[in-house]
Structure 1
Amino acid sequence: MANRAAFLETEKGEFTVRDTEIGQPGDGEILIKVHAAAIQPADAKVAKMAVMKMEYPTTLGSPVAGTVEAIGTRTTGKVSIGDRVVCGTKIFVHKKAKYGGLQRYCVVDESEIVEIGTTPFPLAVTLASYTPPGALFGSSTLNLHRPSLPPSPLPPSEQGKKILIWGGSSAMGALSISYAKAAGYTVISTCSAHNIPLLQSLGADHVLDHSAADTVQRVRGLLPIAYWFDTVSLKPSISSILNILAPEGGEVIKAHVLLLLPLVMAGVKEEEFPEGVTAGMLRFSTHAEENREWNRWLLAKGGFLERGIKSGAIRGVPPTVVGGLERVGEGIEMVHKGVSGTKVVVEPWA
């Protein structure tokens, strides 16, 4: 049994596919035989812009879907050998190659593994991000009421409330729409014109072309909006939201906008926000003590994510499978240049 991986050899360097040792799972860890691995925007930023210090050569990629190959020490029995699972990786935590997803065998954290039943591996990796439910339902984030299966009505205090998800055709935005609709909220979202049918298929109640001249005014016509989530988090999207909340010569609407990036990376200064409007970058850890109950709800055996994937209740963008490990560089370039309405996926055994 041998491993094979796509290594980023040096900072901002080239990818090389070669044989390597199989990482051994330690305490609380599981070894996955990887059948599909996603390429995230964070992977592209590290590969092309070196936004994070890594231990080179490194292997990027997350999440992964495959079968349980080996079980480490001090595990809980959450999964068994051969189970079909999906899991985020720990490459940006430990920065060691054995934790990256773009290889045939990857070491992951048992606590974040989710069984997927018969769901195809490439589809599973489009559904497994913990960031949307963290952003929406974390007690320190937007703190929306959580969805359940079978669905249940929102409590009276939340009924009729709306959420704006700017950038709904990103993988993050699409999953956020799916989760918010599962919880029972009215969803307003934006995207390019050609992605409008996708967002409508996910259940968004109001879908607007982000580049249309009347979008800001149309969103204002849907006020009040209780929750604001900018999944793009760049200057154009932040400026559009500020134009909604604080129109020139008009009354300022008090709101807090959740972002995925710090304002400095978007080229926006805090003083550009009028009094009553605030923004903050999402900071959420699945292992934080304050999120322990959230972790059980989402990631426990039989939890919401497992049941949502198996039942089809959680939906997102479709996968674009670019090929095997030799296509990792191409996939990174695609994500770096920007993709919408899809998730770029590699199949390490292809």
Structure 2
Amino acid sequence: MSSHKQKALFLEAKNGQFVVGEHDIPKPGSGQVLVKIHTAALNPVDYKIQQTGALIEKFPAVLGVDMAGVVEDVGEGVQDYVKGNKVFAHGNFTDDQASYQQYAVATTDFTAKIPPNLDFDRAATVPLGFDTASVGLYSDQLGAGLTPPWVEGGRDKYAGKSILIMGGSSSVGSYVIQLAKLSGFSHIITTANPAHQDELKLLGATEVIDRHLSGEKFTAALQKITQQPIKIAYDAIALPETQRAAMSAVAQGGKLVMTLQPAVKEEEGKGRSVTATFGHPYAEPNKIMCSQSWKVLGKWLQDGLIKPNNFEVLPNGLFAIPGGLQRMKDGKISGKKLVVHPQETA
């Protein structure tokens, strides 16, 4: 392999197979850094792209958006980063900015330095999960439109209020819990496997409902916790049954945010709004808001206000990704993120 080439995992075609091959090492442009990727995290969006071809225009394509590594080079106008900085970043759906490879360029607006209390593996679990949680809670267009905790008056603004989070032990759900805590919600109610209860309470959940409860049992468990109307629900799982359960809990005039397209209709909601969020910082409605949250994200991680996900490292570098995505697709991963080390690709 020449010094200008690297190993990358390609999705060969729409609905095609993943194969490891060679790819040019990109050069950082204005406002970008080149990152030698030590850890990349896997996300459900990647197998959904393989299934549907969504979000990708041309194939073969490199996927993956969660990365952590070391700055190798900086582009024009970059002042906050130098070669050798340890960083994590939210990649993009383009070959040069995707994370399933050994080197990628990252946009500095959605990059942060890894605080000394974190390693590459933990830092790589943050970007997509955190951005999907923050956009879903705080975006006016793609979320609930709450006041973010990184703006003046945003911290603890929702004291006395209740929020329901479906799927608290998912990556996105765990960040929704933590942001809800920063926003001051008094009742942070989540559904999860009871095995994750203690951990979710450490993140900020005040009550955990068994995710296997449905229909009247779910409603009864919720009413036992609070009689107060729930105006905000965030469904991090967004299967038809979790959407219906969340919708049944949302009060008149309330909002339901979800990570997939709605299976419930707003008219069923009788004055309740339904929004499918999209935690992609490069999407036009998200750029400004996400660049603001990324300015505080490193500090919040250092101070322990935001804690990364638990993770499992898969051996064999990029070769491990297809099997890891299959495990996620089969529903065999709970309460942790799968990560790989691209530099270990033999």
Classify the TM-score, shorter chain. 0.7 to 0.9
Corresponding residue for 1:203?
A: 204
Corresponding residue for 1:189?
A: 190
**Inter-partner Cα distance in structure 2 for 1:333 and 1:132:** 24
1:83-138 per-position Cα deviation (integer Å, ceiling 9, x unaligned) = 111101111xxx3x222101110112121111112311110011223121222233
Q: 1:276 to 1:220 in 2, by over 3 A?
A: farther
**Inter-partner Cα distance in structure 2 for 1:289 and 1:280:** 17
**Alignment partner of 1:185: what SS?**
coil
**Inter-partner Cα distance in structure 2 for 1:292 and 1:102:** 23
Larger displacement relative to structure 2 (187-196 or 29-38)? 187-196
1:26-37 equivalent positions in 2, closer than 5 A: 26-37=29-40
**Alignment partner of 2:73: what SS?**
strand
Corresponding residue for 2:58?
A: 55
Q: 1:55 to 1:128 in 2, by over 3 A?
A: same
Corresponding residue for 1:318?
A: 310
Question: 1:153 offset after TM fit, Å?
Answer: 6.1
Q: Contact 1:322/1:345 (CA < 8 Å) preserved in 2?
A: yes
Pick the aligned partner of 2:299 from 293, 297, 307: 307
Q: 1:45 to 1:70 in 2, by over 3 A?
A: same
**RMSD between aligned residues:** 2.5
Corresponding residue for 2:6?
A: 3
Q: 1:313 to 1:216 in 2, by over 3 A?
A: same
1:168-218 per-position Cα deviation (integer Å, ceiling 9, x unaligned) = 111000111111112321311101232223312312001111212522212
**Inter-partner Cα distance in structure 1 for 2:289 and 2:55:** 28
**Inter-partner Cα distance in structure 2 for 1:49 and 1:22:** 28
Q: Contact 1:148/1:182 (CA < 8 Å) preserved in 2?
A: no
1:215-237 per-position Cα deviation (integer Å, ceiling 9, x unaligned) = 22121341322321111122101
**Inter-partner Cα distance in structure 2 for 1:224 and 1:116:** 39
Count of aligned residue pairs for this structure pair: 329
Corresponding residue for 1:88?
A: 90
Q: Contact 1:134/1:284 (CA < 8 Å) preserved in 2?
A: yes
**Alignment partner of 2:342: what SS?**
coil
Q: Which amino acid aligns with 1:217?
A: A
Q: 1:231 to 1:137 in 2, by over 3 A?
A: same
**Inter-partner Cα distance in structure 2 for 1:144 and 1:270:** 20
After TM superposition, the score normalised by the length of structure 1 is 0.85
**Alignment partner of 1:6: what SS?**
strand
**Inter-partner Cα distance in structure 1 for 2:49 and 2:104:** 19
**Alignment partner of 1:226: what SS?**
strand
Confirm or deny that 1:234 pairs with 2:229: no
Could you list the runs of 5+ residues in structure 1 that have no partner in the other structure?
246-251
Q: Which amino acid aligns with 1:198?
A: E
Q: Contact 1:171/1:340 (CA < 8 Å) preserved in 2?
A: no
**Inter-partner Cα distance in structure 2 for 1:59 and 1:292:** 22
Corresponding residue for 2:178?
A: 178
Question: 1:285 offset after TM fit, Å?
Answer: 5.9
Identity of aligned residues (%): 27
